[in-house]
A and B are shown apart, each in its own frame.
Chain A
Amino acid sequence: MSEPNLLYTDVEDDLRASVRDLLADRADGAAVLGRVESAEPHDLGLWRTLAADLGVTSLHVPESLGGQGAGYRETAVVAEELGRSVAPVPFLGSAVLATAALLRVSDDEHARSALAKLAAGDATAALVVPLSAWPGSPLPSVRAEGGGLVGTVRSVADAAVADLLVVPADDGLHLVEAGAARVTPVVSLDLTRPVADVEFSGAASVRVSGSAAAAVDAALLTGAGVLASEQVGVAQWCLDTTVAYLKERYQFGRPVGSFQALKHRLADLWQELVLARAAARYAADRLAAGDQDAPIAVSVAQSLCAAVAVHAAEECVQLHGGIGMTWEHPAHLYLKRAKADEIALGTPGRHRAVLAPLVDLPG
């Protein structure tokens, strides 16, 4: 195996610049805060622009299925930028989780047709599992009965704005039009990625051929790997913002960033980010390559990046002092995202439990 490239390619840097420009324009801190307090917390206008103008929904979809045939390295760069802005768009739920599940069963014509719509940005989907599910975790107990699907799944990411629900049930993977289920948004810890409960009481569906467990596992592994890059983006924003604040905030007649007690904490955080970025890049690269080391790479990245993002967000709040505790300052949006991301797609502890047997470290 040639050594994986852990840097960003020129193409990836160009993609990053495009996404960052758009988000700077449309999703700065004030815009995001205003949006999440509105009646429509997801920014679907921004989402359509991301899909139509920048093609973020089709990056890792093969050209034969209507996508760009790029790879998860590029998808991860988009996730990093979306993490950096905590833009409230259904990228993780639709372009990553639901899309990855459908890619795994793309021999099925219904799956292919759904993928084409998702890739083109004509529809948005959600994978109906709790956001807290991890690769290998038990599936929710949705049952396929004579009158349709029956069951309830709690805390599903991006379900509130999905047109299409991708549902693992006891007899396989189903596609459900959102109108056929009851989707109830819940008051969420993470304001910028709210979750919803999804209830099926005899919902009409199309069953997709292929293994639901394999599709969900592939989606959760992919999602967890891409999420690591989002966490890097969250942590990077927290570090950058805190550094900038400590340069301009004066107490005791000097910038507070000149005190070693504070600057050493930021140096430690920067060092954690150096490691986290390397781990996240490796996970994205191995997912892109479809390599057998991907499960190890993803669990390493999740175990590390989740904790680094939370640490960065907590330091951001603390080192901003009083302003960091205010609703007005965007720091809390990142703290809430980081903390929810720590649970999302497997906690660091879950990922270490997954990792241990893979690397021959028996408990």
Chain B
Amino acid sequence: MSEELRERVAALLAAHDPATTDRLEFLRARFDAGLAWVHFPVGLGGLGAARGDQRIVDEELAKAGAPDNNPRRIGIGLGMAAPTILAFGADEQKRRFLRPLWTGEEVWCQLFSEPGAGSDLAALGTRARRDGDDWVVTGQKVWTSTAHTARWAILVARTDPDVPKHAGMTYFVCDMTDPGVEVRPLRQITGEAEFNEVFLTEVRIPDAHRLGAVGDGWRVAQTTLMNERVAIGGRPVPREGGMIGVVADAWRANPERRTPEAHDRLVKLWVESEALRLAGTRLRQQLAAGSPGPEGSAMKLAFARLAQTLSGFEVELLAEDGLRYDDWTLRRPELVDFTGREAGYRYLRAKGNSIEGGTSEILRNIIAERILGLPSEPRVDKDVPWKDLPK
């Protein structure tokens, strides 16, 4: 397979020289050649190959100086919307959405969480009512990154309040340019606004933009969330990549601030960071052979704990410099870098790592119940129609 892939890459490069080809044109040609995500089906940017083979393509293209699709800018589309559309979309939906999603022509965002539905996502109350060939959607969503740049959103809304909460939801693709969509920045403890609140007022969504069956939204959303955790926990990193590298460098640069007690803590954290990196490698090796399992939950749990401990350690190490903060100005960054800016920012931003994408508490429930097979807590809301739940 690897030889065939290299030949396909060579053919793409021969027909579309990256040095002289427009970036977007090249990306479209790459998609059409099945080299966008090789594990996707033929005709949808892939070749039906193993997920792990993507690395061969990426390495060959990087060597040739080919442009990429700036994956960090379109992470929600790539990591969450695309696998869900692939798994549940109709053929027409796959053809319409996947190509511009992958090339980055169309940015995606995710409309899941609500002020009243965070960890208990299935309690969400944004209503979608059928009206002819359309659905009319009204409600409020929150913690939506890239909402202000997005063309499309993946949306879960309540279509039947008379059945228990998990049964009454449906999954849609929402047009973010609809006049009923209002996006407001949501300022967070770092001072900036990475996220938004999104107010939906009588937004019309054609039934053709529904993903999966009416009432099947919870199952569709599980696919999205499972892929999100893989995306968060599974990036390949070199040794001392990520927060440990920043903190180790601070340690090396500040010999006068070292103490024996801090030294032992730091080496412990170095060990855990290295083990997390190796576990990430191991997870990717497992994924290369199959599809994402719940193991991503362990990665995210450990990642959040380490990011928080390390960034807190750094602020403490920096002593009088740890008392300062770079900038409280409200800004709307297009990209978020957990290891960017200064120590105070990193410390505060890391607090979100155990909340976003599934709180650490919910992840522990997932691990305990789905991996270890422990029984769930008694569920008082399981058989109660959504409209009768206390809110």
Contacts and interface: CB of A to CB of B under 8 A. Distances in A.
Interface of A: 3-7, 239, 243, 246-247, 254-255, 257-260, 263-264, 266-268, 270-271, 274-279, 281-282, 299-300, 303-304, 349, 352, 355-356, 359-363
Given A278-B281, A356-B263, A363-B260, A263 B270 contact: no
Specify the main secondary structure of chain B where it touches its partner. Answer: helix
B132 interface: no
Given A264-B364, A270-B371, A258 B376 contact: yes
Specify the main secondary structure of chain A where it touches its partner. Answer: helix
B282 A263 contact: no
B338 interface: no
Contact of B374 (A247, A279, A281, A363): A247
B255 A362 contact: yes
Residue of B258, B282, B376 with highest tally of chain A CB at under 10 A: B282
14 contacts: A258-B374, A258-B377, A267-B365, A274-B279, A274-B298, A278-B275, A278-B281, A279-B279, A300-B275, A304-B272, A359-B270, A360-B252, A362-B258, A363-B258
Nearest to B376: A258
Nearest to A272: B302
A270 B298 contact: yes
Interface of B: 248, 251-252, 255, 258, 260, 263-264, 266-268, 270-272, 274-276, 278-279, 281-282, 285-286, 295, 298-299, 301-302, 361, 363-365, 367-369, 371-378
Given A274-B298, A300-B274, A355-B267, A266 B374 contact: yes
Contacts of B266: 361
B372 A266 contact: yes
A239 B373 CA distance: 12
Contact of B275 (A255, A258, A259, A279): A279
A277 B281 CA distance: 12
Nearest to B301: A271
Nearest to B285: A7
A28 B278 CA distance: 32
Closest 5 CB pairs of A and B: A263-B368, A267-B364, A278-B279, A267-B367, A278-B278
Nearest to A263: B368
Given A7-B286, A304-B272, A243 B298 contact: no
A266 B275 contact: no
Nearest to B263: A363
B388 to A, nearest CB: 24
A355 B373 CA distance: 37
B372 A355 contact: no
A275 B272 contact: yes
Given A267-B365, A275-B275, 6 more contacts: A247-B374, A264-B364, A264-B365, A266-B374, A274-B302, A303-B267
